[in-house]
Amino acid sequence: MFRPSPLLELANYHVLGRVFSYVPSCAPLPPSRVLATFGGLMALVEALNAVGVALVANPSGSTATQTLGKNLTVAAIALQVVVIVIFVLMAAIFHRRFARARLKSEPVRVMMVVLYASMALIFVRCVFRLVEHTGNTKIDLNDMDVLRNLSPLLRYEAYFYVFEAMLMLINSWLWNIWHPGRYLPRDYCVFLSQDGTEVVGERHEDSRPLWAKTAHVLTFGLLFRDKKRQAHHRMQELGVVVRE
């Protein structure tokens, strides 16, 4: 079944990194590392979740196998909750630095509010899934008594519609209404200086071969990084760094 939550999470990571690149002086983490770090953690969460769900959903599996699958699923959701908390804390650090620098930018304000709202919806969904999988999830299609004893969150679709489908639908609406393209500059070379004015930095040409660029994207930026570009951005951001 297609789940929009991972895509929405990945979009949030990308948008936060884009906000960091727009206001690099307040960023607690290099913009290029945001998607790489959180995207890698999300890939781990989805891998654990996929294995866990596959083991639990196998009706011919043993009790030990289904228990292992349940534990893996719960561990994946718990890790996802931790990642969300870290993400919000990092966004809050940026927001605090931005306020202390007394910078005023409507695009940044709107993007941060939408990011908080989007992650709050995903957090509620994760709590729902955590409660769902900590209940009775044992499945035996040949035993009606076992099916009747399933957690109500699994037996009745109303819970799914409210805490999963509706929340993710609202999340999608948020990013369609307040799309980042309406607020943030499309040119990555434009960033906000300490005096609140937009500055256009020098462009950097990516000289990496196509296979390296593709591998960089597929590994969420963990491998085959453009070191020249990172050094280029660091040079441009010198002198505009805000320290706490």
pLDDT number for residue 12: 94
CA neighbor of 180 nearest in space, from 49, 29, 11: 11
Q: Is 66 within a domain? A: yes
232 found inside a domain: yes
pTM: 0.78
Report the pLDDT value the prediction gives residue 171, as an integer from 0 to 100.
93
Number of structural domains (the chain) is 1
Average pLDDT per block of 10 residues along the chain, 244 residues long: 71 93 88 84 88 79 80 90 94 93 88 95 90 68 60 75 89 92 84 78 60 59 56 46 37
114 falls within a domain: yes
Long-range CB pairs of 161-168 (<8 Å, 24+ gap) are 163/124, 163/125, 163/128, 164/125, 164/128, 164/129, 167/121, 167/122, 167/124, 167/125, 168/4, 168/5, 168/8, 168/121, 168/125
pLDDT computed for residue 242 by the predictor: 37
H or E, element range at 144 = helix 144-148
pLDDT for the residue numbered 241: 40
**Quick check: helix, strand or coil at residue 190?**
strand
SS3 call for 196: coil
Kindly report, residue by residue over 72-87, the tens digit of the pLDDT. Answer: 988 999 999 999 999 9
Residue 244 forms part of a structural domain: no
Please give the residue range of the domain that contains residue 35: 5-237
